[in-house]
Structure 1
């Protein structure tokens, strides 16, 4: 070969290009070193602790000695929603851009909460936070997802500024913890050992902005308070002493049940509205070997229950999406919008469509007192 294409090694040992000089900053501090070598028994407990319940609920607690005097009276609780109740975004966006994008909803918020704590109230935050992901973020070099990290940092900043004993409950999924369901309330009662003797519901309160007013996105906060059995106020009413605003008329399960028929009234009506008593004669009788009975009703209306009570004993077979495997039982919780969509699209069947009989089945609740109490709650 005429010559090697390999570049001769540098006699100085230098490499090309030269490495960029980087200043390595140590993250060690005197405090961290001291803490590392301090025996565990001598370390002060963390002021803010976090835990995840059932891979769904985020719970944070700000530990500070409270002046809750020993008394025979039941404890009283002041519970609050977080966003648009205690805090709002500093940027003006609907949702915070980062963990520092927040400010007090009103200047009176921190002083009011400190007054409540001084008066012996247990102050807690109960908030729906569906944007939080509990998936691990190993690629980012941390176990918590970015959304969870941002929430923890934001909530921690709120708790530190208040500097009162405080717990935060954040529901991340559409399950039993999510308002208006009372899973977070039950978790709080269990955390504070109030689940046995209970709290003074009449002296407790829940404050939230989702109150069912014309411009509110929902009424889940008002529904939550009703379910928990505590008085409710909006932020304007509680912090600013504003007068209550009118509400949008909506479904009230407790009133619906009270207005339902009594045990003496019939359950069934024919096409003309005439009463059909299932106790006097069966609501259905076979006219031929093959018959098709079509149930038309919203999800959860009681179609399956009616089948098992009246049709199954007559030998009718039941066919639905679960049996056909077109909608497996492992499906997610049906969203509230599905019920509203059904109501908008529903068209009452008529004889002109070829039916031999049309029977209207009025709703009637059946169950013990505890089951009725659960039924009367807001769920969506």
Structure 2
């Protein structure tokens, strides 16, 4: 959905982002108009859990999410995007969550998806897995750092697309 402006693998600050391609906002608007629930599932290795709002990495991540949301709301005022982020496990993780809980919430495990399903059903809606999909850049290709996005979709039982295929198709 986004990439860095700097060209680095990971963002160097809250404003170091740009759309993967210029068509991303329009495609998200179309998905919203087709009544898709739009959710972002992200492993955030650079964000350390446990420090909350005091953490610079936490602040940068929240600021980036807000900047993205602002651009999308300017395009489609009713668009809602949910963000499920699993941060890096801090050294004092026992005080925050068990190792097992932490691991189940990081892709390719499906804890974030289960939290999404729980929220959607609490709102009286349902998820149609036959029409659901996940777009991710960790697909196990030669230049990819992992295949966790592809495995995440597989573990859920939904379609998977790489950004180059999904965001550039009309």
TM above 0.5: yes
Q: Distance in 1 between matches of 2:129 and 2:84?
A: 19
Q: Deviations over 1:308-344 (max 9, x none)?
A: xxxxxxxxxxxxxxxxxxxxxxxxxxxxxxxxxxxxx
Does the residue aligned with 2:70 lie in a helix, a strand or coil? helix
Q: RCO higher in 1 or 2 (8 Å CA, sep ≥ 6)? A: 2
Match of 1:154 among 56, 64, 69: 64
Q: Deviations over 1:273-309 (max 9, x none)?
A: xxxxxxxxxxxxxxxxxxxxxxxxxxxxxxxxxxxxx
- The equivalent residue for 2:109 is 181
- The equivalent residue for 2:168 is 240
Q: Distance in 2 between matches of 1:232 and 1:120?
A: 19
8 Å contact kept, 2:120–2:126: no
Relative to structure 1, is the Cα distance of residues 229 and 198 closer, same or farther in structure 2, using a 3 angstrom cutoff? farther
Give structure 2 stretches of 5+ with no counterpart: 74-78, 90-102
Does the residue aligned with 1:130 lie in a helix, a strand or coil? strand
8 Å contact kept, 2:5–2:16: yes
TM-score when normalising by structure 1: 0.38
TM-score when normalising by structure 2: 0.83
Q: Distance in 1 between matches of 2:122 and 2:131?
A: 15
Relative to structure 1, is the Cα distance of residues 91 and 215 closer, same or farther in structure 2, using a 3 angstrom cutoff? same
More helix per residue: 1 or 2? Answer: 2
1:123 matched to 2:51 = no
More strand per residue: 1 or 2? Answer: 2
Paired residues in the alignment total 152
How many angstroms does 1:145 deviate by? Answer: 0.4
8 Å contact kept, 1:135–1:144: no
Alignment of 1:240-279 (within 5 A): 240-241=168-169
- The equivalent residue for 1:373 is none
